[in-house]
Structure 1
Amino acid sequence: MKYSSLFVGALILAVALPLCCGYYVVDGPQAELGERCNYTYECYYRYANCSWGICECETNYMEMEGICRPELGARCNGTDECYDRHATCRWGVCECEGNYTEKEGVCRPASGLGERCNYTYECSDRYANCSWGICECETNYTEMEGICRPELGARCNGTDECYDRHATCRWGVCECEGNYTEKEGVCRPDFSGSNLGDDCNNDYQCGNNAECGGGGLCTCKTGFHAGDDLICVKGNASVGSSCINNVGCEKVPGLKCDQIYNRGECVCSDGFHINADGKTCAQGVESSCTPSSGCSDPAMECKESPDGVYTCQCRDGYEAVGDVCRKTGHSVHVHVDVDVDVDV
């Protein structure tokens, strides 16, 4: 019985050992890579085919040290050594290991957006380029949460999240989803009437809570502002509110749209600074003003300079600190002489 057990164990080892090392053991003729063959089973190594009478590695496998190694994305098992030296077999597929990313079929050192690089293949994001030594999103892609997102019309795949939140990847391109239509590079909801920033001649051509502004563009009425969908909703615009084509912020003094063409956000106008609330803007010292409107900051007043120009200046009791007015500090210096007699 002992000799029988030893024989069976030796037989199993003789079969298993070759299988673990990238080749098969078969009866009959055995051909290595590059040698002649008649059938695939005659080829000695795993992942090899008999092609035109010669044993060669099958598609997605490359010869290395006489063995067919799986390339990136090719099937593998835990004992396989992937062809790329920075790849490993994970869940039955060769993938790049940590701190490396696949670019053009090769594992490259990963550099995130904003990080230094020498070549585009070093940038970890598939839609990033190495521009002036820094990884940046390529044209038609915009950074969002550290990832390059495809804009409308840009190529994408099923796993991509399009930059416009009302767009989806369809047939390899980011397109507006149902009930939304692309206008000026933005997905807008379908409704009767023109959208914010569209050309108009009359108020009725614009959507709800909107009117045709002096520039011939639809804009929100006073007391309304554009929401994320560019539909006018109740409330005044503030810093960060949506705008487009230079309209959507003009009803609030001190605000302007940061995009003359296309979509943007409301920001403080020139000569204004953002208040501590982070939403409203106040005029800065020496900003232009008119006596009738005055200055938005109560610590300022509109004064005429010797050359006839009206600007905001600090009121009495205030002093300029940068472009804002602060209360003038008061300090009192007291000097006291004291004579003390001491008996010793």
Structure 2
Amino acid sequence: MHTATKRGNKELGAACSSDPECGTLNSECPPSGYCKCKTGFFKSPTEDKCIPEIGGPCTNEDCVINGSSCDGSKCVCGMGTAASATKQECLNQTIAYNRRCSEISQCTLFGTRVDCKSNGGSSNCVCDASSRHIVEDNICWIVKGPGQECSDERDCSVPYKTNEFSDMYIDCVENKCTCIEGYHPSSDGKNCNLDAPDLGDTCTENSDCQVGNSICDTKTKMCACKTGYYADSEGACAIGVGGSCSVSEDCASVANSECMANKCQCPAGWTSNLAISECLPITNGLNEECAESQQCTPSLGEFGECRDELCQCQKKHHLVQGTCTPSKGLGDDCSKGYECFLPVSTEGLVCRNNKCSCDYGLVPAENNAYCTGSAARATVGFFTLTVAFLLVSLK
């Protein structure tokens, strides 16, 4: 014959060593050694009683949480409410999207891909990062980007603002999310970027630029030919000096070039123009015909330039032993005589005491353009006349 176990009289929170010592219905003595409510129950805040949680076992009279009832054998929250995270309270569900909530369980009307997210003050029900809000259905719908499988137009969308999505640039085509005409998948596969069909068009990344061998310039954010290519007259990127090649015919777009070491290069005695579209002959020195300055610098040095289609020294520079050198005028510091230079004539110009000066007996002419002896002669003549006048006066 079975005999019912007699329960003790210890209340919740009292020290215990076995379950029978705990007298409260639905309580037990856990390893901690203090009477507590069993799983699925919690302590009443007002009396020594174990109350069924939402989802806990029940009969009708057991479900005392406000808004709950016993549905068969479990306590459940009523219509328009949802269980709190502790399962000890029925909270009102949030009906309108982006409205206040305290727990995510209040947001379940919008589906499973939802958050109760803080906006700096209160928290609101919003779709999580993997979904977007479909206004017509008031539901958070999973987001699928370019290339992903789809069965409904609503499946496909791309981000267009912070935490917002749009289906304007993407469609579900043959069960694949596909960017509409004029757009293409971004490099990360999450967005549809606007095509940039021509060089100079605005872009955000390399894949935007549709011209072959073009890239998105990181500074200008415009499509440009990549290194080793130049924009030809038809708006294409042609192989230029420095571009890859396997045979010289590959370098046909660069006049006078040849393929060396798998690169289109200028042969000895030639140099690339700035556009890398042509090899130009290197000149032999001053006053040789030229088209660009780099033809002149090998012979004239870094201060040579192409001016008026002739190789010349840059302004305020002059030729010394075939090389263009910075010119030092009267009064400027110097260490060598050849550094001193005047535009009209260098005759009588010397470097004395580390300064460009007129030689003894000479003085600077007007505007310091050259050295002259006229002032010195005039001074001597005046002195001679003065002495002669004094001698006559004394007689």
Shared topology, TM-score over 0.5? no
- TM-score, normalised to structure 1, is 0.36
- Decide which structure has greater helix share: 2
Q: Which structure has the higher relative contact order (CA within 8 Å, separation 6+)?
A: 1
Q: Which has the larger radius of gyration?
A: 2
